[in-house]
Amino acid sequence: MAMSSSSLNMAVITVSDTRSLETDKSGAALVEYVESAGHCLQERVILVDDLHEIRATVKRYAQSDAVDVILLTGGTGITQRDVTPEALEPLWDKVIPGFGELFRQLSYEDIGPSTIQSRAIGGVISSTLAFALPGSTGAVRLAIDSILRSQLDINTRPCNFVQLMPRI
């Protein structure tokens, strides 16, 4: 794992058939979080909704010593083009069910029962944490502010992902 006691190396992946770096507000929100939290952005890419391309890219980052955390946005809905969870499925070593459960609980407060359409998911691939978020900027900010910011901060008590990473 390539990190200091508080800084993590992160990759940001936007899954979208229509966004570019200029129009990718959700990816930009993730980059803003990475930088404001004192983490290091290793990579930022935009991938089309292609199961094999998503899987190959995530696998490459997860096997790299240069990436500790992969943050994905997009492709977690229920349309035919939404394949991010399916791309990740065979890669998981451990799924973290509480991430998706908590995200949907918090999201319910904002958007009500429409939150059931979200297939946000998190887990461990190799020794790398990965979190797949919806493509909306509001959903990304909710996940960052309510879950990821604290869990990816070594100072969060009683526990956080950072302190566990050496043992993952």
Question: Domain map of the chain by residue range?
Answer: 9-167
CA 49 to the chain's CA centroid: 16
State which fold the 9-167 domain adopts: Molybdenum Cofactor Biosythetic Enzyme; Chain A (3.40.980)
Cα distances (Å, whole numbers) of residue 85 to 22, 81, 100, 102, 146: 25, 11, 11, 17, 21
Task: Tally DSSP H helices, then E strands, for the chain.
Answer: 7, 6
- The fraction of the chain above a pLDDT of 70, given in percent, is 97
In this prediction, residues 45-64 reach a mean pLDDT of 98
Identify the pLDDT of residue 1: 42
Mean pLDDT, range 106-113, rounded to an integer: 96
Q: Give pLDDT, residue 5.
A: 52
- Which three-class secondary structure state does DSSP give residue 46? strand
pLDDT at 3: 40
140's CB contacts (< 8 A; 6+ apart) are 26, 29, 30, 73, 133, 134
pLDDT at 116 > cutoff 90: yes
Predicted structure pTM score: 0.95
Query: Could you give the angle at the alpha carbon of 104 between the alpha carbons of 45 and 43, nearest 5°?
Result: 15
